[in-house]
Protein backbone atom coordinates (compact mmCIF):
# COMPACT_ATOMS: atom_id res chain seq x y z
CA UNK A 1 0.00 0.00 0.00
CA UNK A 2 2.90 2.32 0.77
CA UNK A 3 4.56 1.78 -2.60
CA UNK A 4 1.23 1.87 -4.45
CA UNK A 5 0.47 5.27 -2.97
CA UNK A 6 4.01 6.47 -3.61
CA UNK A 7 3.63 5.56 -7.28
CA UNK A 8 0.31 7.38 -7.46
CA UNK A 9 1.78 10.49 -5.83
CA UNK A 10 4.77 10.43 -8.19
CA UNK A 11 2.45 10.21 -11.21
CA UNK A 12 0.79 13.46 -10.06
CA UNK A 13 4.14 15.23 -9.65
CA UNK A 14 4.21 15.24 -5.84
CA UNK A 15 7.66 15.96 -4.40
CA UNK A 16 9.22 13.37 -2.08
CA UNK A 17 6.46 10.85 -2.90
CA UNK A 18 8.08 7.86 -1.15
CA UNK A 19 8.65 9.70 2.14
CA UNK A 20 5.28 11.42 2.16
CA UNK A 21 3.50 8.19 1.31
CA UNK A 22 5.31 6.39 4.14
CA UNK A 23 3.91 8.85 6.68
CA UNK A 24 0.49 9.63 5.21
CA UNK A 25 -0.35 6.23 3.70
CA UNK A 26 2.08 3.60 4.98
CA UNK A 27 1.49 4.09 8.70
CA UNK A 28 -2.35 4.07 8.45
CA UNK A 29 -2.16 1.07 6.12
CA UNK A 30 -0.02 -0.81 8.64
CA UNK A 31 -2.58 -0.10 11.36
CA UNK A 32 -5.51 -1.16 9.17
CA UNK A 33 -3.96 -4.22 7.50
CA UNK A 34 -1.64 -5.56 10.22
CA UNK A 35 -2.67 -4.30 13.65
CA UNK A 36 -6.43 -4.58 13.12
CA UNK A 37 -6.05 -7.90 11.31
CA UNK A 38 -3.93 -9.24 14.17
CA UNK A 39 -6.46 -8.19 16.79
CA UNK A 40 -9.34 -9.70 14.81
CA UNK A 41 -7.42 -12.94 14.32
CA UNK A 42 -6.65 -13.27 18.03
CA UNK A 43 -10.29 -12.50 18.83
CA UNK A 44 -11.39 -15.48 16.74
CA UNK A 45 -9.50 -17.64 19.26
CA UNK A 46 -11.61 -16.31 22.12
CA UNK A 47 -12.72 -19.81 23.08
CA UNK A 48 -9.11 -20.88 23.47
CA UNK A 49 -8.16 -17.80 25.48
CA UNK A 50 -11.08 -18.34 27.85
CA UNK A 51 -10.35 -22.04 28.37
CA UNK A 52 -6.62 -22.34 27.70
CA UNK A 53 -6.15 -24.84 30.55
CA UNK A 54 -8.51 -27.36 28.98
CA UNK A 55 -6.77 -27.09 25.62
CA UNK A 56 -3.36 -27.46 27.22
CA UNK A 57 -4.46 -30.63 29.01
CA UNK A 58 -5.13 -32.33 25.69
CA UNK A 59 -2.67 -30.65 23.31
CA UNK A 60 0.43 -29.49 25.20
CA UNK A 61 2.22 -32.87 25.39
CA UNK A 62 3.50 -33.07 21.82
CA UNK A 63 6.59 -34.17 19.95
CA UNK A 64 6.76 -30.78 18.24
CA UNK A 65 7.67 -28.55 21.18
CA UNK A 66 11.32 -29.57 21.48
CA UNK A 67 11.82 -30.66 17.88
CA UNK A 68 15.30 -29.74 16.62
CA UNK A 69 14.56 -29.99 12.91
CA UNK A 70 16.20 -33.40 12.46
CA UNK A 71 14.60 -36.71 11.60
CA UNK A 72 14.12 -39.40 8.98
CA UNK A 73 11.40 -41.26 7.12
CA UNK A 74 10.24 -44.58 8.53
CA UNK A 75 11.08 -47.57 6.37
CA UNK A 76 7.71 -49.32 6.68
CA UNK A 77 5.36 -46.37 6.10
CA UNK A 78 5.30 -42.69 5.14
CA UNK A 79 5.62 -41.33 8.67
CA UNK A 80 8.30 -38.89 9.78
CA UNK A 81 10.45 -40.02 12.72
CA UNK A 82 11.97 -37.06 14.64
CA UNK A 83 15.26 -37.28 16.48
CA UNK A 84 16.89 -35.20 19.17
CA UNK A 85 13.73 -34.61 21.19
CA UNK A 86 13.83 -33.38 24.76
CA UNK A 87 12.11 -35.55 27.34
CA UNK A 88 9.97 -32.65 28.59
CA UNK A 89 7.74 -31.78 25.67
CA UNK A 90 4.97 -29.87 27.40
CA UNK A 91 4.36 -26.18 26.83
CA UNK A 92 5.74 -23.97 29.62
CA UNK A 93 2.25 -22.60 30.31
CA UNK A 94 0.95 -26.12 30.97
CA UNK A 95 3.17 -26.48 34.04
CA UNK A 96 2.85 -22.94 35.37
CA UNK A 97 0.38 -22.06 38.16
CA UNK A 98 -2.76 -20.40 36.84
CA UNK A 99 -2.41 -16.63 36.88
CA UNK A 100 -5.09 -14.00 37.53
CA UNK A 101 -6.16 -10.80 35.81
CA UNK A 102 -3.75 -9.44 33.21
CA UNK A 103 -1.37 -12.28 34.00
CA UNK A 104 -4.02 -14.81 33.07
CA UNK A 105 -4.65 -13.09 29.73
CA UNK A 106 -0.91 -13.06 28.98
CA UNK A 107 -0.61 -16.71 29.98
CA UNK A 108 -3.45 -17.66 27.64
CA UNK A 109 -1.89 -15.72 24.78
CA UNK A 110 1.42 -17.52 25.32
CA UNK A 111 -0.43 -20.82 25.35
CA UNK A 112 -2.00 -19.95 22.00
CA UNK A 113 1.44 -19.00 20.65
CA UNK A 114 2.88 -22.40 21.61
CA UNK A 115 0.00 -24.10 19.82
CA UNK A 116 0.74 -22.11 16.67
CA UNK A 117 4.39 -23.11 16.95
CA UNK A 118 3.36 -26.78 17.05
CA UNK A 119 1.08 -26.38 14.04
CA UNK A 120 3.86 -24.66 12.07
CA UNK A 121 6.39 -27.35 13.01
CA UNK A 122 4.01 -30.10 11.97
CA UNK A 123 3.32 -28.59 8.57
CA UNK A 124 6.93 -27.66 7.80
CA UNK A 125 8.61 -30.91 8.93
CA UNK A 126 6.33 -33.78 9.89
CA UNK A 127 4.70 -34.10 6.45
CA UNK A 128 7.99 -34.38 4.55
CA UNK A 129 7.66 -38.14 4.19
CA UNK A 130 3.97 -38.14 3.31
CA UNK A 131 2.26 -38.43 -0.05
CA UNK A 132 -1.27 -37.73 -1.24
CA UNK A 133 -3.10 -38.65 -4.41
CA UNK A 134 -4.08 -35.07 -5.12
CA UNK A 135 -0.92 -33.25 -4.06
CA UNK A 136 0.53 -30.88 -6.64
CA UNK A 137 3.59 -28.79 -7.29
CA UNK A 138 3.04 -25.04 -6.90
CA UNK A 139 4.83 -24.38 -10.18
CA UNK A 140 1.75 -25.72 -11.94
CA UNK A 141 -0.94 -24.04 -9.85
CA UNK A 142 -1.52 -21.10 -12.19
CA UNK A 143 -2.35 -23.50 -15.05
CA UNK A 144 -4.50 -25.79 -12.85
CA UNK A 145 -2.20 -28.77 -13.28
CA UNK A 146 -3.69 -30.95 -10.54
CA UNK A 147 -7.07 -30.28 -8.88
CA UNK A 148 -8.30 -31.91 -5.68
CA UNK A 149 -11.04 -34.52 -5.70
CA UNK A 150 -13.19 -34.14 -2.60
CA UNK A 151 -15.92 -36.70 -3.21
CA UNK A 152 -17.06 -39.03 -5.98
CA UNK A 153 -19.85 -41.55 -6.50
CA UNK A 154 -19.16 -43.92 -9.37
CA UNK A 155 -21.20 -46.53 -11.22
CA UNK A 156 -24.61 -44.94 -10.74
CA UNK A 157 -26.89 -47.16 -12.88
CA UNK A 158 -29.20 -45.80 -15.62
CA UNK A 159 -32.13 -46.90 -13.50
CA UNK A 160 -31.24 -44.34 -10.80
CA UNK A 161 -33.44 -41.18 -10.66
CA UNK A 162 -32.07 -38.49 -12.98
CA UNK A 163 -29.46 -40.70 -14.66
CA UNK A 164 -29.82 -40.41 -18.45
CA UNK A 165 -26.94 -42.73 -19.31
CA UNK A 166 -27.42 -45.18 -22.14
CA UNK A 167 -27.65 -48.90 -21.47
CA UNK A 168 -24.22 -50.31 -20.75
CA UNK A 169 -23.01 -46.99 -19.34
CA UNK A 170 -23.53 -45.24 -16.00
CA UNK A 171 -23.60 -41.89 -14.23
CA UNK A 172 -21.25 -40.18 -11.80
CA UNK A 173 -21.30 -37.48 -9.16
CA UNK A 174 -18.18 -35.57 -8.19
CA UNK A 175 -16.94 -32.61 -6.20
CA UNK A 176 -13.69 -31.40 -7.77
CA UNK A 177 -11.78 -28.41 -6.42
CA UNK A 178 -10.55 -26.61 -9.51
CA UNK A 179 -10.68 -23.02 -10.68
CA UNK A 180 -12.42 -21.68 -13.76
CA UNK A 181 -9.88 -22.34 -16.54
CA UNK A 182 -10.58 -19.17 -18.51
CA UNK A 183 -9.81 -17.03 -15.46
CA UNK A 184 -6.58 -18.83 -14.59
CA UNK A 185 -5.26 -19.41 -18.10
CA UNK A 186 -6.25 -15.93 -19.21
CA UNK A 187 -4.78 -14.65 -15.96
CA UNK A 188 -1.39 -16.16 -16.82
CA UNK A 189 -1.32 -14.12 -20.03
CA UNK A 190 -2.53 -11.04 -18.15
CA UNK A 191 0.23 -11.42 -15.57
CA UNK A 192 2.85 -11.62 -18.34
CA UNK A 193 1.41 -8.44 -19.82
CA UNK A 194 1.47 -6.86 -16.36
CA UNK A 195 5.19 -7.65 -16.00
CA UNK A 196 5.90 -6.07 -19.39
CA UNK A 197 3.91 -2.91 -18.69
CA UNK A 198 5.19 -2.55 -15.14
CA UNK A 199 8.85 -2.85 -16.11
CA UNK A 200 8.67 -1.54 -19.67
CA UNK A 201 6.12 1.26 -19.38
CA UNK A 202 6.85 1.90 -15.69
CA UNK A 203 3.12 1.81 -14.91
CA UNK A 204 2.95 1.28 -11.15
CA UNK A 205 -0.59 -0.15 -11.25
CA UNK A 206 0.56 -3.37 -12.89
CA UNK A 207 3.14 -3.88 -10.17
CA UNK A 208 0.35 -4.53 -7.68
CA UNK A 209 -0.86 -7.54 -9.65
CA UNK A 210 2.65 -8.86 -10.21
CA UNK A 211 3.97 -8.41 -6.67
CA UNK A 212 0.73 -9.66 -5.14
CA UNK A 213 0.67 -12.81 -7.27
CA UNK A 214 4.35 -13.59 -6.70
CA UNK A 215 4.21 -12.98 -2.93
CA UNK A 216 1.25 -15.35 -2.50
CA UNK A 217 2.67 -18.00 -4.86
CA UNK A 218 6.47 -18.27 -4.75
CA UNK A 219 6.82 -18.89 -0.97
CA UNK A 220 5.10 -22.26 -1.48
CA UNK A 221 8.05 -23.45 -3.58
CA UNK A 222 10.10 -24.05 -0.43
CA UNK A 223 7.49 -26.58 0.74
CA UNK A 224 6.96 -28.53 -2.50
CA UNK A 225 8.63 -31.61 -1.00
CA UNK A 226 5.53 -32.33 1.08
CA UNK A 227 1.84 -32.67 0.15
CA UNK A 228 0.43 -29.27 -0.78
CA UNK A 229 -2.65 -28.67 -2.86
CA UNK A 230 -4.11 -26.47 -5.58
CA UNK A 231 -6.68 -24.87 -3.30
CA UNK A 232 -3.85 -23.05 -1.50
CA UNK A 233 -3.68 -20.91 -4.65
CA UNK A 234 -6.93 -19.17 -3.69
CA UNK A 235 -4.80 -16.38 -2.15
CA UNK A 236 -3.33 -15.70 -5.62
CA UNK A 237 -6.75 -15.31 -7.25
CA UNK A 238 -7.45 -11.64 -6.34
CA UNK A 239 -4.22 -10.57 -8.05
CA UNK A 240 -4.98 -12.72 -11.11
CA UNK A 241 -8.33 -10.92 -11.39
CA UNK A 242 -6.61 -7.53 -10.98
CA UNK A 243 -4.22 -8.46 -13.80
CA UNK A 244 -7.14 -9.49 -16.02
CA UNK A 245 -9.00 -6.26 -15.29
CA UNK A 246 -5.96 -4.13 -16.06
CA UNK A 247 -5.29 -6.11 -19.24
CA UNK A 248 -8.83 -5.58 -20.51
CA UNK A 249 -8.57 -1.89 -19.64
CA UNK A 250 -5.29 -1.71 -21.59
CA UNK A 251 -6.91 -3.33 -24.62
CA UNK A 252 -9.78 -0.82 -24.57
CA UNK A 253 -7.42 2.14 -24.11
CA UNK A 254 -7.65 5.35 -22.06
CA UNK A 255 -9.70 7.38 -24.51
CA UNK A 256 -13.50 7.21 -24.48
CA UNK A 257 -13.76 8.56 -27.99
CA UNK A 258 -14.91 6.03 -30.62
CA UNK A 259 -11.98 4.31 -32.28
CA UNK A 260 -11.04 1.01 -33.87
CA UNK A 261 -8.90 0.14 -30.84
CA UNK A 262 -11.70 0.82 -28.39
CA UNK A 263 -14.15 -1.24 -30.43
CA UNK A 264 -11.73 -4.16 -30.68
CA UNK A 265 -10.90 -3.94 -26.98
CA UNK A 266 -14.57 -3.93 -25.96
CA UNK A 267 -15.26 -6.91 -28.24
CA UNK A 268 -12.32 -8.91 -26.87
CA UNK A 269 -13.07 -7.99 -23.25
CA UNK A 270 -16.78 -8.71 -23.61
CA UNK A 271 -16.10 -12.01 -25.38
CA UNK A 272 -13.77 -13.04 -22.56
CA UNK A 273 -16.41 -12.21 -19.96
CA UNK A 274 -19.08 -14.22 -21.79
CA UNK A 275 -16.66 -17.12 -22.29
CA UNK A 276 -15.87 -17.10 -18.57
CA UNK A 277 -19.56 -17.20 -17.65
CA UNK A 278 -20.10 -20.14 -20.03
CA UNK A 279 -17.02 -21.89 -18.67
CA UNK A 280 -18.29 -21.38 -15.12
CA UNK A 281 -21.68 -22.84 -15.97
CA UNK A 282 -20.05 -25.77 -17.77
CA UNK A 283 -17.98 -26.71 -14.72
CA UNK A 284 -20.78 -26.15 -12.21
CA UNK A 285 -21.85 -29.84 -12.02
CA UNK A 286 -18.36 -31.07 -11.07
CA UNK A 287 -18.08 -28.43 -8.36
CA UNK A 288 -21.44 -29.22 -6.81
CA UNK A 289 -21.80 -33.02 -6.93
CA UNK A 290 -24.13 -32.78 -9.91
CA UNK A 291 -25.38 -35.93 -11.59
CA UNK A 292 -23.71 -36.46 -14.98
CA UNK A 293 -23.47 -39.30 -17.43
CA UNK A 294 -19.97 -40.70 -17.79
CA UNK A 295 -19.68 -39.05 -21.20
CA UNK A 296 -20.78 -35.67 -19.82
CA UNK A 297 -18.26 -35.99 -17.01
CA UNK A 298 -15.44 -36.79 -19.45
CA UNK A 299 -16.36 -33.68 -21.44
CA UNK A 300 -15.40 -31.65 -18.39
CA UNK A 301 -12.24 -33.57 -17.47
CA UNK A 302 -9.96 -32.12 -20.11
CA UNK A 303 -6.70 -33.66 -18.94
CA UNK A 304 -5.71 -37.01 -17.43
CA UNK A 305 -4.15 -35.19 -14.46
CA UNK A 306 -7.58 -33.84 -13.53
CA UNK A 307 -8.83 -37.31 -12.58
Long-range contacts at 150-155 (CB < 8 A, ≥ 24 apart): 150/175, 150/176, 150/177, 151/175, 151/289, 153/289
Q: Cα–Cα distance between 24 and 291 in angstroms, integer?
A: 55
pLDDT bin (cut points 50, 70, 90) of residue 229 is very high
pLDDT of residue 205: 87
Q: Determine the pLDDT at residue 223.
A: 86
From the centroid of its chain, how far is CA 214? 12
The alpha carbon dihedral of 129, 132, 138, 140 has a sign of positive
259, part of any domain: yes
Q: Which residues contact 31 (CB under 8 A, 6 or more apart)?
A: none
User: Does one domain contain both 80 and 28?
Assistant: no
pLDDT score recorded for residue 86 = 59
Residue 255 lies in a domain: yes
Residue 93 has pLDDT above 60, yes or no: yes
Residue 76 lies in a domain: yes
* CA atoms in the 13 A half-sphere facing the CB of 216: 19
pLDDT tens digits for range 155-191: 999 999 999 998 889 999 999 999 999 999 999 999 9
The number of beta carbons lying within 10 Å of the beta carbon of residue 183 is 18
Region 107-124 average pLDDT? 92
The total of structural domains in the chain comes to: 3
Which of 125, 141, 164 marks a domain boundary? Answer: 125
Does the pLDDT value for residue 149 go beyond 60?
A: yes
Asked, for residue 233, whether it belongs to a domain, the answer is: yes
What was the pLDDT predicted at 90? 85
Q: How far apart are CA 290 and CA 154, in angstroms?
A: 12
Judge if 212 and 120 occupy the same domain.
no
Residue 68 domain-assigned?
Answer: yes
Distances (CA, A) of 79 to 71, 85, 211, 225: 11, 16, 36, 14
- Hey, how many other C-beta atoms are within 10 angstroms of the C-beta on 229? 16
Q: Are residues 119 and 199 in the same domain?
A: no
Query: Does residue 183 or residue 130 have the better pLDDT?
Result: 183
In terms of domains, do 62 and 33 share one?
no
Are 224 and 199 in a shared domain?
Answer: yes
What average pLDDT score do residues 93-97 get? Answer: 89
CB of 18 closer than 8 Å to CB of 73: no
**Same domain (yes/no): 299, 192:** yes
In a domain, residue 276? The reply is yes
The tens digit of pLDDT for each residue in 239-293 reads 999 999 999 999 999 888 889 999 999 999 999 999 999 999 999 999 999 999 9
Q: How confident is the model at residue 87 (pLDDT cuts 50, 70, 90)?
A: low
Same domain flag for 35 and 102: no
Asked if 149 and 230 touch (Cβ cutoff 8 Å), the reply is no
- 88: pLDDT strictly greater than 70: no
pTM: 0.81
Residue-wise pLDDT for 43-72, tens only, equals 999 999 999 999 999 999 887 877 777 788
Which residue segment(s) compose the domain that 81 sits in? Answer: 46-125
Same domain? 256 vs 188: yes
Regarding whether 19 and 53 lie in a shared domain, the answer is: no
Which residues, listed in sequence order, are joined to residue 148 by a DSSP beta bridge? Answer: 177
Q: 250 with 286, same domain?
A: yes
Answer yes or no: do 91 and 109 share one domain: yes
- Residue at 114 is within a domain: yes
Tell me, what's the pLDDT at 5? 87
Q: Name which of 242, 236, 138 is nearest 194 in CA terms.
A: 242
Mean pLDDT of 19-32: 93
Distance CA 293, CA 204 (A): 49
What is the arithmetic mean of pLDDT over 2-22?
Answer: 89
Task: Out of 107, 125, 143, pick the residue that ends a domain.
Answer: 125
Choice between 298 and 127, residue whose per-residue pLDDT is larger: 298
**Residue 6 domain-assigned?**
yes
Whole-number pLDDT of residue 84: 66
pLDDT at 148: 97
260 and 288 within one domain: yes
Amino acid sequence: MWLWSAGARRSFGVRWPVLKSAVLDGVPAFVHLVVVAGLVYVATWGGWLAHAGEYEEHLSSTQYRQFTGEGHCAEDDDSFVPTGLDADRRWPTATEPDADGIGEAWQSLRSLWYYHQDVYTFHTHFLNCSEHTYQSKPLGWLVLNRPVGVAVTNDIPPSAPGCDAAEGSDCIRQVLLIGTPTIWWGGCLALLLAVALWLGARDWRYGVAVVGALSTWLPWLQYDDRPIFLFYAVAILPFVVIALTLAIGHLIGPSRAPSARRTAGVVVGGAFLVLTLVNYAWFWPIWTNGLLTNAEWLDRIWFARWV
